[in-house]
Amino acid sequence: MPELKTVGLFLVTALAEIVGCYLPYLWLREGKTIWLLVPGALSLAAFAWLLSLHPTAAGRVYAAYGGVYIFMAIVWLWAVDGIRPTVWDLVGSAVALVGMAIIMFAPRTT
């Protein structure tokens, strides 16, 4: 099922980007070790590589990826930051995911 593979790839891509941004945040804002920049940079490199694996136009991938990123950021808010999402966080995430699905899976003429 190509749709499931696409969504899975987006989820892994979003996780790589969030980790790649969160680790420098820990160094800059929480006073953690500067060595967090090394895995952070590797995670951001993985993020860029993962985005390149999608078989469609880059602009479409970037636009659709934004919806998945929003969803994953809300999951991160709950799982890592320990803040329970509000109903509006969940509604906004659902809207973003619907947008991603429209962009990625709508029928196309060639």
Q: pLDDT digit string (tens) for 31-58? A: 999 999 999 999 999 999 998 898 777 8
| Residue at 109 is within a domain | no
Q: Domain for residue 88, yes or no?
A: yes
For residues 3-18, give the mean pLDDT.
Answer: 90
In a domain, 40, yes or no: yes
Task: Report yes or no on 75 lying in a domain.
Answer: yes
Domain hosting residue 41, numbered range: 2-104
Residue 110 lies in a domain: no
Please write the tens of the pLDDT for every residue from 56-107: 778 888 888 899 999 999 999 999 999 999 999 999 999 999 999 998 888 8
How would DSSP label each residue in the chain? -HHHHHHHHHHHHHHHHHHHHHHHHHHHHH---GGGHHHHHHHHHHHHHHHTT-SS-HHHHHHHHHHHHHHHHHHHHHHTS--PPPHHHHHHHHHHHHHHHHHHHS----
Number of domains into which the chain is organized: 1
pLDDT at 57: 77
Q: Give the residue-averaged pLDDT of 18-36.
A: 96
Residue 47 belongs to some domain of the structure: yes
